[in-house]
């Protein structure tokens, strides 16, 4: 395409050079730039920005998009486009370059603090049960017809998002469930997408290191429903919102287009008329927009009943038959690392979960508390270089609900793991429980918490102490197969570690 076709009429400050040069591709990573590309420079650090631009030029970039030209750099013999928000411009240009695939692929946006990943997997299973090949875009990656094509941001950069949708369209996939993060919304990565439906799961404390306040965090989420969905070019768009969540009620009050509520409250459009749950799964009768659906699911806990309700409400609102909804829910094993059962010692339930924020940890522990006959042993920690304020909150939650919290390291990144642990431990102390040693913890009547900075040893301690009827929750990292320590990425998968230790203890099962 000509550069002018890509950016004509968009929010551009000025253009230096020929606006009609031929553009063969778009890139924002200089290492991926090829001859003829339009390169978007988005680094805010001056030195990094300069290095990226020089790298892109050396690889054959034909035009550059920049916030402002560095006066110390000689202007190269390529076209330069200045704009205030390169990332926003990239989204609009990428949509044009790929011929706006979201106008033809039914794109479902899922936002909220918790439940996004599991809901996307449920929707994918329901679409497949209805004979509709589906794609998934989110924390675990981008999947097209079951093939993983991308790993990275929960909500990809707009260029990667549009490219993935274009590939789905080429391969005959006409439905895609995508996790939409608050940061992705704030940065403009999804502004040029045409959503068919959007779903709000809930809102709790998260990303405050980025947003500053929970109100700013909510405002970012709300834009998906009040600005981005309403301007979609798709017909008969719909918003699906959890109506028994305080922030969900605010979303419902703000929406002026078609909306459907879901939750445990029977006054909502989609709710459970009755359900039973144990550590083997959920059975329920759902009422969804006046239709009855009998469901059975291998997913665990009330939190997953809510995910099932949201996915079912959205599916029925889009016209999918209730039989396909029930079949898809039955088939869906859940998302990797989301209350994922891992074989451990006989009689002990071991669940690995991604819960790394207060509301998620509380919901997981409450869900298992209702189902577990023995002790709940919870291995958890907090990540470094992120919201420090949540650390004592998570400690207090674990101390209040779990029978035996085991405090350990998560992804410390550049911080001292022991300093992070000390901040989390303040919450455990606030919960009025005492630090005990492993020998004391082995007594089934013992009350207290353990501290073991080495995550593998912490998991080993939890499994060693657990007795038949107990549940061990390993929280924080879920599907991740690495640990971020200093500047290193170390191999570490909670699920694999559980299996290894269980085998050492003689209780592992295949």
The contacts of residue 194 (CB under 8 Å, 6+ apart) are 100, 102, 103, 107, 232, 233, 234
265 or 257: which carries more pLDDT confidence?
265
Owner of token pair 């912490």: 458
Q: Which phi and psi angles does 158 have, rounded to 5°? A: -55, -35
Q: Are 402 and 367 in contact (CB under 8 A)?
A: no
Q: Which two tokens stand for residue 278?
A: 């144990």
- Residue 368 is given by DSSP the state H
Q: Same fold for the domain at 3-89 and the one at 340-505?
A: no
CATH (one of 3.40.50.970, 3.40.640.10, 3.40.50.2300, 3.40.1390.10) for 3-89:
3.40.1390.10
Q: Which pLDDT value is given to residue 506?
A: 79
- Give me the architecture of the 98-331 domain, per CATH: 3-Layer(aba) Sandwich (3.40)
CATH superfamily placement of domain 340-505? Mur ligase, C-terminal domain (3.90.190.20)
pTM of the model as a whole: 0.95
pLDDT-derived band at 207 (thresholds 50, 70, 90) equals confident
pLDDT-derived band at 482 (thresholds 50, 70, 90) equals very high
Alpha-carbon distance of 208 to 132, in angstroms, equals: 38
Q: Which pLDDT value is given to residue 507?
A: 57
Q: Are 24 and 60 in contact (CB under 8 A)?
A: no
pLDDT-derived band at 509 (thresholds 50, 70, 90) equals very low
* For range 170-189, the mean pLDDT: 96
pLDDT digits (tens, 9 = 90+) for 390-443: 999 999 999 999 999 999 999 999 999 999 999 999 999 999 999 999 999 999
pLDDT-derived band at 69 (thresholds 50, 70, 90) equals confident
Q: Is the pLDDT of residue 288 over 60?
A: yes
pLDDT-derived band at 508 (thresholds 50, 70, 90) equals low
* For range 93-120, the mean pLDDT: 98
pLDDT digits (tens, 9 = 90+) for 348-380: 999 999 999 999 999 999 999 999 999 999 999
* For range 213-218, the mean pLDDT: 96
The contacts of residue 9 (CB under 8 Å, 6+ apart) are none
**Beta strand pairing status for 404-407 and 376-380?**
parallel
- Residue 212: how many other CB atoms lie within 10 Å: 10
Name the residue among 478, 496, 234 with its Cα closest to residue 355.
Answer: 478
Q: Which two tokens stand for residue 349?
A: 């339930």
Map out the domains of the chain as residue ranges: 3-89, 98-331, 340-505
Task: Output Rg (C-alpha) for the chain, integer angstroms.
Answer: 24
Q: Which two tokens stand for residue 195?
A: 């959503």
Q: Please give the mean pLDDT across all residues of the chain.
A: 96
pLDDT-derived band at 501 (thresholds 50, 70, 90) equals very high
Name the residue among 250, 256, 232 with its Cα closest to residue 112.
Answer: 250
* For range 36-46, the mean pLDDT: 93
- Residue 326: how many other CB atoms lie within 10 Å: 19
CB burial of 177-191 (b: ≥16 within 10 Å; e: otherwise) equals bbbbbbbbbbbbbbb
Instruction: State the DSSP string of 267-324.
Output: TSSEEEEEEEEETTEEEEEEEETTEEEEEEES--SHHHHHHHHHHHHHHHHTT--HHH
């Amino acid at each position: 395409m000509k550069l002018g076709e890509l950016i004509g009429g968009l929010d551009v400050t000025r253009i230096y050079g020929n606006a009609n040069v031929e553009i063969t591709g778009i890139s924002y990573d200089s290492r991926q730039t090829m001859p003829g590309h339009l390169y978007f420079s988005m680094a805010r650090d001056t030195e990094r920005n300069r290095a990226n631009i020089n790298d892109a030029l050396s690889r054959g970039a034909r035009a550059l998009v920049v916030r402002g030209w560095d006066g110390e750099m000689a202007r190269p013999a390529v076209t330069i486009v200045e704009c205030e928000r390169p990332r926003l411009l990239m989204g609009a240009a990428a949509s044009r370059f790929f011929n706006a695939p979201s106008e033809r692929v039914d794109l479902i946006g899922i936002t909220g603090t918790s439940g996004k990943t599991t809901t996307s997997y449920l929707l994918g299973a329901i679409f497949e049960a209805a004979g509709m090949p589906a794609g998934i875009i989110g924390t675990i990656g981008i999947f097209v017809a079951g093939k993983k094509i991308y790993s990275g941001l929960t909500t990809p950069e707009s260029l990667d998002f549009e490219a993935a949708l274009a590939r789905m369209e080429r391969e005959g996939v006409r439905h895609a469930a995508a996790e939409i993060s608050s940061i992705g919304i704030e940065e403009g990565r999804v502004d040029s997408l045409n959503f068919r439906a959007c779903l709000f799961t809930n809102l709790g404390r998260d990303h405050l290191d980025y947003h500053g306040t929970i109100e700013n965090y909510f405002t970012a989420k709300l834009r998906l429903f009040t600005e981005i969905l309403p301007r979609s070019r798709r017909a008969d768009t719909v918003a699906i919102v959890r109506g028994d969540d305080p922030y969900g009620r605010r979303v419902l009050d703000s929406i002026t287009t078609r909306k459907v509520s879901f939750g445990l409250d029977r006054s909502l459009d989609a709710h459970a008329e009755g359900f039973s749950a144990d550590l083997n799964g959920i059975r329920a009768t759902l009422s969804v927009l006046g239709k009855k659906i009998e469901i059975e699911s291998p997913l665990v806990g009330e939190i997953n009943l809510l995910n099932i309700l949201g996915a079912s409400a959205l599916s029925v609102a889009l016209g999918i038959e209730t039989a396909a909804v029930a079949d898809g829910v039955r088939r869906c094993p859940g998302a990797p690392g989301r209350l994922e059962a891992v074989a451990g010692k006989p009689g002990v339930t071991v669940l690995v979960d991604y819960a790394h924020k207060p509301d998620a940890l509380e919901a997981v522990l409450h869900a298992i508390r209702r189902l577990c006959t023995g002790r709940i042993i919870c291995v958890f920690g907090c990540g470094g270089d992120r919201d420090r304020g949540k650390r004592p909150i998570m400690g207090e939650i674990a101390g209040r609900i779990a029978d035996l919290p085991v405090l350990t390291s998560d992804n410390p990144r550049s911080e001292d793991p022991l300093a992070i642990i000390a901040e989390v431990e303040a919450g455990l102390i606030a919960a009025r429980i005492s630090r005990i040693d492993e020998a004391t913890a082995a007594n089934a009547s013992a009350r207290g918490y353990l501290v073991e900075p080495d995550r593998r040893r912490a998991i080993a301690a939890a499994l060693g102490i657990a007795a038949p009827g107990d549940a061990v929750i390993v929280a924080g990292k879920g599907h991740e197969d690495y640990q971020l320590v200093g500047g290193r990425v170390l191999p570490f998968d909670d699920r694999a570690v559980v299996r290894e230790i269980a085998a050492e203890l003689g209780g592992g099962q295949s």
